[in-house]
Amino acid sequence: MTALEEARRRRMPAPIAPLQGTLALSLHEPVAPPDPADRNCAHDVARIDPLRRKRFDQWAGRFLQSAVDVVAGQRSATQLVRWMQEEVYEDLVRRAQLVRGSVTSLPGRAATIAGPTVRPSITSLHTSFVAATTCEAAAVVRYGARHRAIAARFELIEGRMQCTALEWA
């Protein structure tokens, strides 16, 4: 047997590196998706008590539905004033006025919007606590056959959650 054949016989197979490529994917540790029943999963930066999270999710859903109702002209913006910072409240009122301005009316007839009037409704809501006193929420809103998105940031100010940012898409 030659030296080359002897070296080939003794050679051990090289182990595969656990991390390869620029994305650093681990090839040896299987990662299961998060359990949907676990509301304290990876999207939260801060750990939150499950009961507190459930209450906040319900409150955030009602708040965002109310904000959508204000813009649709089905609710007064003053109902949300204590839960919003001044700049956010003013933007909500301005948005509601713009939508109201798009409504057409003829003398002696009720105001109508082109097409059938449909009450917008929130179809899904996702929240994430970025700190123990700060949460961000995103919702999908259905307007008839169309869907839009709304995002909000809530912070604990003076003992109650207040909306500090509200974005519409």
* Rounded distance between C-alpha atoms, residue 137 and residue 150, angstroms: 8
pLDDT of residue 24: 47
Mean pLDDT of 35-44: 55
Whether pLDDT at 19 is above 80: no
* Rounded distance between C-alpha atoms, residue 45 and residue 130, angstroms: 5
Question: Do 103 and 117 touch, CB atoms closer than 8 A?
Answer: no
Residue that the structure tokens 């204590």 belong to:
82
Give the torsion through C-alpha atoms of 8, 11, 12, 18, to 10 deg: -90
* Rounded distance between C-alpha atoms, residue 47 and residue 32, angstroms: 20
* Rounded distance between C-alpha atoms, residue 161 and residue 159, angstroms: 7
Whether pLDDT at 133 is above 60: yes
| pTM across the whole model | 0.68
* Rounded distance between C-alpha atoms, residue 57 and residue 155, angstroms: 14
Token duo for residue 21: 């490529």
Token duo for residue 69: 């109702």
- Pairing assessment for the beta strands 25-26 and 121-131 based on DSSP bridges: unpaired
Round the average pLDDT of the chain to a whole number and report it: 79
pLDDT of residue 2: 74
Task: Note the pLDDT tens digit of each residue in 76-101.
Answer: 999 999 999 999 999 999 999 988 87
